[in-house]
Amino acid sequence: MQHRRKLTRPAYVLEKLALYGRSRLTMDREDILMAFYPKTGSTWVRFFLYNMLSESASAASFDEVNAAMPEYGNPSMFTPWAFSPRPRLVKTHLPHSALLFASHPTMLTVRDPRDIVVSLYHYARAKRTLAFEGGIDDLIYDEEMGMEAFFKHFASWKSRAGLVTRYEDLKSRPIEAFGGICDFCGIEGDAAAIEAALEKSSLQRMRDAQKASAESFKNHDPAFVFARKGTAGQWQEHFDDRALAHYEALCDRYAFDLYD
């Protein structure tokens, strides 16, 4: 398995450090951090929140949402917040760092780590800059993108999150689960408003939004579908006894008990 790891490129490292530093300087104490490990529903949640906050009746593209909803360490952090005076909602995939993150209200969204691996596998195979050529077994144990990376991310945020939401609950109990996110973010909306925003953020709408986006997927295989399935339990088709034992050992090591 070969990765072209960007962290070995000095120019990339310097660019990211500058973006992190500038992002840190722009953070207001009322900003709400939204911590997501990759493939735990960050795009879905951000589309939903955008649709709750926006008055537009038309469907947004990925480019529009990515520009309007800031991400820590991304140029979107320096765009004026369109939904002021509401607190800014700042996404991050980063683990918690005392150097980068002060004390901000934080919501954390998690997903079954075994399904994360399956989703990451399809993503890594399609993203050209990752140059991933292995199988799911390789990914499970990979130091950079493997399953333990999720557990480390979760452990870094667990004690700091005022709200922890399971991706599976967003799927099975959407009105309640997304309503909890709205409450935490101070966004008013009854069940009808939440349902309408969810309809505008549906799987098909997300796929249509991908087709309408010029920039967000330029480094991916043309056949790649970002909103692929999102179903629970996909891992059962891919995990052998060794992989399952590895998962259970990580659960014990990191005191993770959110899934059976």
CATH of the domain at 53: 3.40.50.300
Percent of the chain topping pLDDT 70: 85
Q: Does the residue 226 lie in any domain?
A: yes
Q: Does the residue 1 lie in any domain?
A: no
The residue ranking higher by pLDDT, 16 or 161, is: 161
Confidence band of 208 (pLDDT split at 50, 70, 90): confident
Q: State the distance between the two ends of the chain, measured CA to CA, in whole angstroms.
A: 31
Look at residue 1 in the predicted model and tell me its pLDDT. 37
Asked if residue 42 has pLDDT above 70, the reply is yes
Mean pLDDT of the chain: 86
The whole-angstrom distance between residue 26's C-alpha and the CA centroid of its chain comes to 21
Q: Does the residue 190 lie in any domain?
A: yes
Q: Within 10 Å of residue 159's Cβ, how many Cβ atoms?
A: 7
Q: Are 237 and 135 in contact (CB under 8 A)?
A: no
Look at residue 121 in the predicted model and tell me its pLDDT. 87
Asked if residue 4 has pLDDT above 50, the reply is no
Q: Does the residue 259 lie in any domain?
A: no
Look at residue 182 in the predicted model and tell me its pLDDT. 97
Q: Does the residue 118 lie in any domain?
A: yes
- Least trusted range by pLDDT, from 60-64, 151-155, 219-223, 239-243: 219-223
Asked if residue 80 has pLDDT above 60, the reply is yes
Q: Does the residue 111 lie in any domain?
A: yes
Q: Are 228 and 119 in contact (CB under 8 A)?
A: yes
The whole-angstrom distance between residue 236's C-alpha and the CA centroid of its chain comes to 22
Confidence band of 2 (pLDDT split at 50, 70, 90): very low
Mean pLDDT of 120-132: 69
The residue ranking higher by pLDDT, 57 or 239, is: 239
Q: Does the residue 187 lie in any domain?
A: yes
Q: How many domains does the chain have?
A: 1
Q: Are 177 and 41 in contact (CB under 8 A)?
A: no
Asked if residue 107 has pLDDT above 80, the reply is yes
Asked if residue 66 has pLDDT above 80, the reply is yes
Q: Does the residue 258 lie in any domain?
A: no
Q: Which amino acid is at 67?
A: A
Please state, in angstroms and as integers, the Cα–Cα distance from residue 158 to each residue in 27, 111, 155, 246, following that order: 21, 13, 5, 21
Percent of the chain topping pLDDT 90: 60
Q: Which domain holds residue 247?
A: 6-253
Mean pLDDT of 11-19: 83
The residue ranking higher by pLDDT, 229 or 172, is: 172
Look at residue 209 in the predicted model and tell me its pLDDT. 73
Mean pLDDT: which of 129-133, 146-150, 222-226, 227-231 is highest? 146-150
Look at residue 125 in the predicted model and tell me its pLDDT. 72
Mean pLDDT of 176-204: 93
